[in-house]
């Protein structure tokens, strides 16, 4: 039995960009977001960044891209920088990177997240969604979908714990992506392994006032700041607008541990005031003594 997911994740021949995009776009995560992105959506920023990167003291060694979905735009960003002489290491994070393929007999397979939440069913060569649409509540189709999820999730989770599942990453298989480190990560949870590493962080289409509260945005920004490599590091916060183009702001972290604006595109980032208002880190006396002693 041939499964569509196998051709996306395991085929020795990389799937076409269209096939890959179509497959991922049909995956609805447990938080209601879809695993989709659009190529070339941040081109207006890529050229504008170059003068600031060239002027930055200390060069550019490590870049962090946050909320990357499948990583297609991360690949574009990395390739753009390489073409202009910046051979930086790229780390890309997203809340949903890791997934598992679980076989249920010869003719059925389920793609699910690490907790067994179904993302896609495949049965007798047919690919089917496990999530409900508004129309499903009118046709009563939501009921079998809900029952299937409830019954399958514990079984899928058990298969993962028992090692009877194939782990995959829901990221592009473009050849250029092989040099990028993809990590499943929650921006709301600080990750010590990322702290103090990056001269440039891009947070694109992730921080917006319609989805997060002011406290959550402050928490995310505090985590992001901790990942920067110190004074002179850059933070790009941008969001694709309804029309073509972005609204974003490029910030630099100053010696005062506050962010300062370097450039804007469109109307600027909608969380610009949150970034500028982020208070400096509080350093305890003991920590200060260790640093200077």
pLDDT tens, residue by residue, 159-215: 999 999 999 999 999 999 999 999 999 999 999 999 999 999 999 999 999 889 999
Our measurement of the distance from residue 96's CA atom to the centroid of its chain's CA atoms, rounded to an integer in Å, reads 7
Chain segment 270-283, per-residue pLDDT in tens? 999 999 999 998 65
| Residue ranges of the chain that CATH labels 3.40.50 | 43-97+171-292
Q: What is the pLDDT of residue 291?
A: 42
Q: What is the pLDDT of residue 282?
A: 64
Q: What is the pLDDT of residue 44?
A: 83
Nearest to 75 by CA among 52, 41, 113: 41
Distance between CA atoms of residues 220 and 268, nearest Å: 19
3-state helix, strand, coil in the chain (%, to 5): 35, 25, 40
Q: Which parts of the chain sit beneath pLDDT 50?
A: 284-293
Distance between CA atoms of residues 81 and 78, nearest Å: 5
Distance between CA atoms of residues 15 and 281, nearest Å: 46
Distance between CA atoms of residues 79 and 57, nearest Å: 22
Token pair, residue 131, equals: 């999530």
Contact 20, 70 (CB under 8 A): yes
Q: Which CATH number fits domain 43-97+171-292: 3.40.50, 1.10.10, 3.20.20, 3.30.70?
A: 3.40.50
Q: What is the pLDDT of residue 289?
A: 42
Give the global pTM.
0.91
């Amino acid at each position: 039995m041939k499964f569509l997911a196998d051709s996306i994740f395991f085929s020795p021949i990389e799937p076409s960009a269209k096939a890959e995009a179509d497959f991922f776009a049909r995956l609805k995560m447990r938080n209601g977001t879809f695993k989709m992105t659009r190529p070339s959506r941040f081109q207006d920023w890529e050229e504008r960044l170059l003068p600031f990167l060239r002027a930055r003291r200390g060069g550019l060694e490590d870049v962090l891209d946050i909320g990357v979905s499948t990583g297609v735009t991360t690949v574009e960003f990395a390739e753009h920088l390489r073409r202009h002489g910046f051979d930086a290491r790229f780390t890309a994070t997203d809340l949903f990177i890791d997934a598992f393929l679980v076989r249920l007999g010869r003719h059925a397979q389920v793609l699910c997240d690490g907790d067994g939440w179904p993302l896609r069913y495949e049965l007798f060569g047919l690919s089917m969604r496990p999530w409900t649409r508004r129309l499903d509540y009118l046709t009563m189709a939501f009921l079998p979908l809900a029952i299937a999820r409830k019954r399958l999730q514990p079984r899928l989770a058990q298969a993962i714990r028992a090692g009877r599942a194939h782990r995959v990453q829901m990221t592009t298989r473009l050849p250029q992506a092989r040099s990028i480190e993809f990590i499943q990560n929650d921006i709301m949870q600080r990750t010590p392994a990322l702290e103090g590493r990056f001269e440039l962080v891009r947070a694109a289409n992730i921080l917006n006032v319609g989805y997060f509260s002011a406290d959550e945005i402050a928490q995310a920004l505090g985590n992001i700041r901790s990942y920067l490599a110190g004074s002179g590091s850059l933070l790009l916060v941008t969001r694709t607008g309804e029309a073509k183009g972005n609204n974003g702001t490029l910030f630099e972290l100053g010696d005062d541990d506050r962010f300062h604006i370097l450039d804007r595109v469109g109307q600027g980032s909608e969380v610009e005031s949150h970034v500028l208002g982020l208070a400096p880190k509080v350093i305890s006396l003991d920590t200060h003594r260790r640093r200077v002693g």
